[in-house]
Amino acid sequence: MTYRELQKFAEERLKNNGVEDSSFDALCLVEHFTGKNKTRLKLEDNSEVDSEHETAVLHGVDRRIAGEPLQYILGEWEFYGFPFKVGTGVLIPRPETEMLVDFGVKLAKDIKSPVIFDLCAGSGCIGISAAKLLPDARVYCVEKSPAAFEYLNKNIGLNRVDNVTAVMGDIFDGLKSFGLPEPDIILSNPPYIESDMLNTLQPEVRLEPMEALDGGEDGYIFYECIASRWLPFVKGALAVECGEGQAEKIALMFETDEILKDFNNIKRVVIRRKSGCSETCGAEG
Ligand code: GLN
C-alpha cells in the first residue's frame, strides 16, 4: 500500500466503524506509526509503506475502533504547546484547562519567585506548563494515584523543568500534612463528576481513570476540601476548573463572585483572590 492508500484505508475503516473524527484520527495514527509528519506524507504519498509500519498503523486503527482514546494510542498529547505523555491511569489534558494556566501565569508575573500548587495534578499539564512559562516560580504538583504519578514524573523529565516538585499525596490530608511552603497561587482541575453520572459518560471517557473524574456523590467533594484545607493558607489567589453548572455553588463555597467562561461560553473557572491580590493582578494585558 502507498502512504496515500494507507491513510484513505485507515480513514474509511474508522468512519465505517463509527469513529467521529475519522480523517483527523487517521492522519494522527499514520503520522505517529510511520514517523512521518503531514508534509512528508504529502511528499511521499505515492511511495510504498514498509510492512512493519503498515501493520502498526492498522493495529492502532483497531485499538481506536475498540474505543481507546486517540491520545492513549499516540501516548503523547499537546497542552499549551508542550508535550505530555498520557496513557491508561492518567486524565487526558483538555484544551479548556489552558485557561487556568493563563490565569495563574498572569497573576504570578506580579509576584517575585511565586510558590504555585497544582492540586490533583494528574499528567502535570497545569503545573508543568506554568513552570515552563515562569522559570522563577517554584511549582508543587500534588497527585495521589501511583499510575498518574508516574506520568507526572515522566512529564517533568520530558519538559525539562527543574522548578517542579512532584508530591505524592492525598489533598484531603490538607496543606499542613505535607510540610510544604504556603502557596501564593493554587491551581486545580479536580475530579468533578457526580458519582452516579460516571456510567453515562462517552465510552472513551470511561476508559480514563474514574478517580480522576469522580467528584463524589454531589460532584463537589474536592472543592469542599480545597475550600476548607487549602484556601486558608493561600496568600495570593486560587483558581479551580469546574464542570458545567457547578461554578455558582463553588463561588459561594470560596466566597467569591469571580467566574470565567470558556470558549464554549460555559462558566468554567472560579477564582478567589485574597486581600492584597486585587482584581488588576493577573488582569488582561
Ligand atoms: N490536572 C490534570 C488535568 O487538568 C488532572 C485532573 C484530574 O485528574 N481531575 O488534566
Distance 148 CA to ligand 1 centre (A): 10
184 CA distance to ligand 1 middle (Å): 20
Strands 164-168 and 82-85: unpaired
Strands 138-143 and 115-119: parallel
Q: Are residues 20 and 148 in the same domain?
A: no
In this prediction, residue 280 carries a pLDDT of 64
Nearest residue by C-alpha to atom 3 in ligand 1: 93
Confidence category of residue 224, pLDDT binned at 50, 70, 90: very high
Rounded to the nearest integer, the mean pLDDT of the chain is 95
What is the domain count for the chain?
2
Is a pLDDT exceeding 80 seen at residue 278? no
In a domain, 83, yes or no: no
pLDDT of amino acid 285: 43
* 197 & 58 share domain: no
Q: Are residues 139 and 233 in the same domain?
A: yes
Residue 93 beta carbon below 6 angstroms from any ligand 1 atom: yes
Mutate which of 123, 221, 246, 268 for ligand 1 pocket (most atoms within 8 A of beta carbon): 123
**Structural domain for 38, as ranges:** 3-66
Question: So what's the pLDDT on residue 283?
Answer: 59
Q: What are the tens digits of pLDDT across the range 262-272? A: 999 999 999 99
Model-level pTM? 0.94
The CB of 122 under 6 Å from ligand 1? The reply is yes
In a domain, 33, yes or no: yes
Please check whether residues 105 and 235 belong to one and the same domain.
Answer: yes
Q: What is the pLDDT of residues 76-120, one digit of tens each?
A: 999 999 999 999 999 999 999 999 999 999 989 889 999 999 999
Decide if 194 is inside a domain. yes
78 in a domain, yes or no?
no
253 and 180 in a common domain: yes
Q: What is the CATH number of the domain that holds 251?
A: 3.40.50.150
**91: CA distance to ligand 1 center in Å?**
6
Q: Does residue 109 sit in the same domain as residue 220?
A: yes
- Neighbour-count burial of 196, counting CB atoms closer than 10 A to its CB (0-12 exposed, 13-18 middle, 19+ buried): exposed
Site to substitute for ligand 1 among 77, 120, 201, most atoms within 8 A of C-beta: 120
Tell me, what amino acid is at 229? R
Q: Which residues have a Cβ under 8 Å from the Cβ of 40 and sit 6 or more positions away?
A: none
Residue whose Cα lies nearest atom 5 of ligand 1: it is 122
**Is residue 50 included in any domain, yes or no?**
yes
Determine what percent of the chain is predicted with pLDDT higher than 70: 97
Is 15 a member of any domain?
Answer: yes
Residue 103 lies in a domain: yes
Give a yes or no: residue 73 inside a domain.
no
